[in-house]
Amino acid sequence: MVGSAIWNALKNKGYENLVGRNSKELDLRNQAAVQEFFAIEKPDVVIDAAARVGGILANNNYPFTFLMENMQIQNNLIDTALNQNVDKFIFLGSSCIYPKLAPQPMTEDCLLTSSLEPTNEWYAIAKISGVKACESIRKQFGKDFVSLMPTNLYGPNDNFDLKTSHVLPAMIRKFHEGKINNSESVTLWGSGLPMREFLHVHDLADAVIFSLENSFTENLYNIGTGVDLTIKSLAEMIQKIVGYKGEIVWDSSKPDGTPRKLMDVSKMANQGWKAKITLEDGIKSTYNWFLENEHSFKEVKI
């Protein structure tokens, strides 16, 4: 999702000399293959949009995979980029690097101040090590390595496989299937009470290009809208957009995750960047994309 959005945004802005690989062409867990790729392509700038990504269920069932693969991917990219004298590196982490009970909205300063949310700590610890790797390179070598921490993302090319998807695409799919099958009710995970923030992936791509074209003085920047809502309100918004008329049942035997997760986005705003796409407009366009592509969705296995 993120890689293709950044790629398309770069192309739309007129960038031409782009080099990208999918996991079949280049397995980023393989250090020798990454080193060979860098030696041949000699990139000036690297944007790391690759990761092993998934929701609560996937993180819970595959802790080692989430910890190890994410560290392998980012370590190989960051270390090789440093050794190959890459001018600029953009590392994408996630808001789950911040503590479970971080003061809200979460500033970049709350990193490592208390315990992580246990359901995704494997992924979070890998991402924190990526942030620290970039920070230490900035400190030790004075290179422009930047870490951007997006909030929950959604948009075209999201994962709609219910076994591994995040909450927003899972809701789009469940309400859509509920509508098509005339189901009396749709069951959603948790209590509906946690609060979350969502950013359209096209806004993230815009933030990445902004970060590419501007030099920042520090390493770590939150990327979000700065606005959150309850999961229940999100469900009602998606239900309305999809046009599902049945009932919503909340399965509170399933985990809620962190009670609230809202980014403080003032540091990035001070640099001159703000999100532009409203949640309602973003969900409408994402649902249209879903309808155009629902027959070509892949199963996303971990």
Active site residue ranges: 123
Contact indicator for 202, 210 with CB cutoff of 8 Å? no
Distance in Å, CB of 7 to ligand NAP, minimum: 10
Q: Residue 52, interface with ligand NAP (CB under 6 A)?
A: yes
C-alpha–C-alpha distance, residues 144 and 140, integer Å = 11
Contact indicator for 166, 96 with CB cutoff of 8 Å? no
With residues binned 3-state (H G I as helix, E B as strand, rest as coil), the percentages for the chain, rounded to 5, are: 45, 15, 40
Q: Residue 34, interface with ligand NAP (CB under 6 A)?
A: no
- Window of 113-121, 150-158, 207-215, 272-280 that interacts with ligand NAP by CB under 6 A: 150-158
C-alpha–C-alpha distance, residues 66 and 74, integer Å = 12
User: Given the complex with ligand NAP, which of 51 and 178 has the nearer CB atom?
Assistant: 51
Chosen residue from 7, 27, 84, 107 binding ligand NAP by CB under 6 A:
27
C-alpha–C-alpha distance, residues 207 and 92, integer Å = 11
- Window of 145-153, 231-239, 246-254, 256-264 that interacts with ligand NAP by CB under 6 A: 145-153
Burial label, 245 (beta-carbon count in 10 A; 0-12, 13-18, 19+): exposed
User: Given the complex with ligand NAP, which of 179 and 297 has the nearer CB atom?
Assistant: 297
The site for ligand NAP, by CB under 6 A, has a size of 22
Q: Is 47 helix (H, G, I), strand (E, B) or coil?
A: strand
Chosen residue from 12, 22, 113, 293 binding ligand NAP by CB under 6 A:
22
Distance in Å, CB of 192 to ligand NAP, minimum: 19
User: Given the complex with ligand NAP, which of 29 and 138 has the nearer CB atom?
Assistant: 29
Q: Residue 150, interface with ligand NAP (CB under 6 A)?
A: yes
Q: Residue 261, interface with ligand NAP (CB under 6 A)?
A: no
Q: Going residue by residue from 190 to 229, which x/- string records binding to ligand NAP, judged by CB under 6 A?
A: ----------------------------------------
Q: Residue 153, interface with ligand NAP (CB under 6 A)?
A: yes
Strands 220-223 and 144-150, by their bridges, are: parallel
- Window of 24-32, 104-112, 175-183, 269-277 that interacts with ligand NAP by CB under 6 A: 24-32
- Amino acid code (one letter) for 86: V
Site for ligand NAP in 53-82 (CB under 6 A): 53, 73
- 296-302 long-range Cβ contacts below 8 angstroms, 24+ apart: 297/160, 297/161, 298/161, 299/161, 299/163, 300/54, 300/159, 300/161, 300/163, 300/164, 300/165, 301/164, 302/52, 302/54, 302/58, 302/61, 302/62, 302/65, 302/164
Q: Which residues pair with 189 in a beta bridge?
A: 251
What does the binding site for ligand NAP look like in residue numbers (CB under 6 A)?
Answer: 1-3, 22-24, 26-29, 49-53, 73, 92, 94, 150, 152-153, 166
